A = this chain, B = another copy of it.
Amino acid sequence: MLRTEIPRKAIYRLSVYSRCLRRLENNGIHTVSSEVLAKAAGVKSTQLRKDLTYFGQFGTRGLGYDVRQLSEMISELLGTKSLQPVVIVGIGNLGRALLSYRGFEREGFEIVGAFDSRPGQYLPGDMSMEVQAMDKLPKVIDKHVVKMAILCVPPNSAQEVANKLIKLGVVALLNFAPIVLSVPDEITVNNVNLAMELENLSYFINE
C-alpha cells in the first residue's frame, strides 16, 4: 500500500464518508450505493469510488456497499478504532476554549494533559483538568504514549514548542498558531487558523 500516492484530500474525504455512514447506520440502513453516499458527502460518485480504490475493494457490483462494513474499514484505515491520547499545549484563550469543547472526546480522542508555561492557572467551572508546567511534558507523553498534540501557543514560541514535542515522540500536530512550522518530513502538521477562515470568507463578500 503506497500511501505516498494517496491525495491528502482523499484522506479528509474518508472522514466525511465515515460520518455519513454512521448516520446511515443509525437509521438502520444496511446497504448504500456510491451514488447515494456521495450525494450525502457532497462529492461525485466517481470520486467516492476512486477514493476507496486507493485502499482496496469494498463494494459489491450491482449492489453497493455494506454500510457497517465500509464504516469499520474506514475507521480502521484512519486509526480511529481505539482511543487516541492527545496533549494540548498553550492554555491561553484558544487553548482554554478547546479544553471546554468536549467534541474531541466524542470522536475518539482523549486529552490526557494540558500544558502551559504558566502552570496551575484557573480553569473555569466544570473543567477538572489541571494546567501543568512544560517540564511535566516528558512524563505525560511517555506514560500515555502520546503521538498527537494540539498547539495553541503564541506564534513566537510555536516553533520552539513544536521542536520540543517532536523530540519527545509526537509525530502529528494540530497547529492553531498562525505561523508556518518547519518540521521533518515524517512529522504531519495540520494547520487551523480561525481568523484566516474568516478573512478568506471576507474576500468573497465583496461581490
A interface vs B, CB < 8 Å? 11-12, 14-16, 18-19, 40-42, 77-80, 84, 86, 93-94, 96-98, 100-104, 106-109, 124-125, 147-148, 150, 171-174, 178-180, 182, 188, 190, 192-206
Whether the Cβ atoms of B101 and A178 lie closer than 8 Å is no
Whether the Cβ atoms of B202 and A148 lie closer than 8 Å is yes
Say which residue of B11, B86, B93 sits within 8 Å of A200 (CB atoms): B11
Whether the Cβ atoms of A199 and B101 lie closer than 8 Å is no
18 residue pairs from A and B, CB less than 8 Å apart: A16-B180, A18-B199, A19-B179, A41-B180, A42-B180, A79-B205, A93-B102, A97-B97, A103-B194, A107-B195, A148-B198, A150-B198, A171-B204, A172-B201, A174-B197, A174-B198, A188-B204, A192-B192
